[in-house]
Amino acid sequence: MNLFDLDNWHEIWTALKKNPVRTFFTAFGVFWGIFMLVVMLGSGRGLQNAVYQGFGDFATNSFFMWAQKTSMPYQGFKQGRSYFFNNDDIEGIRRNVTEVKLVAPRLQGGGHNGASNVVRGKETGAYNIYGDYPDFFKIDPVDITAGRFINQLDVKDERKIAVIGTSVVKDLFKADEKPIGQYIRIQGVYFKVVGLFKSKKKGGQADRDNNSIFLPFSSMQRTFNYGNKVFWFAITSADNVPASIAEEKVLALMKKRHHINPKDTQAIGHFNVEKEFKKMNGLFIGINGLVWIVGIGTLLAGIIGVSNIMLIIVKERTREIGVKRALGATPLNIISQIILESVTLTTLAGYIGLVIGVALLSLIDKIMVNSGAGSQFFLHPEISFKVGITALAVLVISGIFAGLIPAKRAVSIKPVEALRDE
């Protein structure tokens, strides 16, 4: 069959508009199936975007560990013993665990969840104070909006400098002031502001970051009398090495260095970002799979409706088909015509559903962006071009299958019997 034959398309149009109500409701089933598929896939992507953006550019091959009380006696030490990681552990990890790439020790003012008092002139505030190495910002990056990061010389020379978040700037400085080069007082000690930063994350994570101040690790350790303590470590695995392998070896090393029973699972707290990230990936794969199953099921119901209606149309056109056969039309001509009608109906209805679904997602995204309603739970609902093409391919294939049974029914009609049909 020639797809560019206007007579064929005129015949298809005539057949479809002969009963417009029936055609509309038949097409609506296909339209609704593809529309719901697009909306559900887009919503799933919006949820995924929000969760992933909550991570910012966080290194997913990383893990954290911190000291806790021991839960088992070992080598003469009683259970319930408290201890701290120390500066020697930094080089110990780097030297003994080849599966590790970055080792970033960290201190936090006021304890693990504490906040320290900060003063500038008459303004005061309570913020998270961290003592860091430059490597920490390779694991959990932030955007520097002015000035610079902490560097290795700052740590080596124990410089009293600070990099402050946007919330700190807003609280301690006036809108027309330039914080770079100014001094803030942290627990009675002055630090020079050399950089301003903004979190790359969203939601509560971003608020906590922006409400923070970063100091050189050594400066904080010396200034506030932490001795050689390390509160916790952020560590990344080497390239092509799972974080769980590096984590296992680092934990074993720390237990050995601090005389902890190898079977004690409570003495070292740890959190593997890679494991959690894989769990989330698996969750979203499952959600997308469920969406496709539900969407294809809904679409299949519409396709079955198209097939049933095409059977009715074939029955109504029995005499017409008989005339065509009598005039020399081959079975292939009849089959092609019926399938083309089916594909046209499903593709047109599905394409409209696809366009309206994408338009709705774009409208929702625009409203959320303009109103500032974007949250850590839903962000930029969308579908990819690949998904759109896949959906259209599914429509065409579905249209072919929807037309096969009616087409076979059409060619099974004998010309003589068809011409007798009233």
pLDDT given for residue 236 in this prediction: 95
Q: Residue 365 above 70 pLDDT? A: yes
Domain spans of the chain, in order of start: 6-55+278-420
- Could you give the CA distance from residue 399 to residue 333 in angstroms, rounded to a whole number? 17
- Could you give the CA distance from residue 184 to residue 191 in angstroms, rounded to a whole number? 5
Q: What is the pLDDT of residues 8-38, one digit of tens each?
A: 666 666 666 666 777 777 778 788 888 888 8
Closest CA to 124 of 185, 79, 63: 185
Q: What is the pLDDT of residues 179-210, one digit of tens each?
A: 999 999 998 899 999 999 999 877 777 888 89
Q: Which residue has the higher pLDDT, 422 or 127?
A: 127
Q: Residue 54 above 90 pLDDT? A: no
pLDDT given for residue 325 in this prediction: 63
Residues facing residue 362 across a β-bridge = none
- Could you give the CA distance from residue 60 to residue 63 in angstroms, rounded to a whole number? 8
The pLDDT-based confidence of 86 (bands split at 50, 70, 90) is: very high
Q: Residue 219 above 60 pLDDT? A: yes
The pLDDT-based confidence of 414 (bands split at 50, 70, 90) is: low
Q: What is the pLDDT of residues 239-249, one digit of tens each?
A: 999 999 999 99
pTM assigned to the model: 0.69
pLDDT given for residue 186 in this prediction: 92
Residues facing residue 212 across a β-bridge = 128
> Is-contact 163 217, C-beta < 8 A?
no
pLDDT given for residue 90 in this prediction: 95
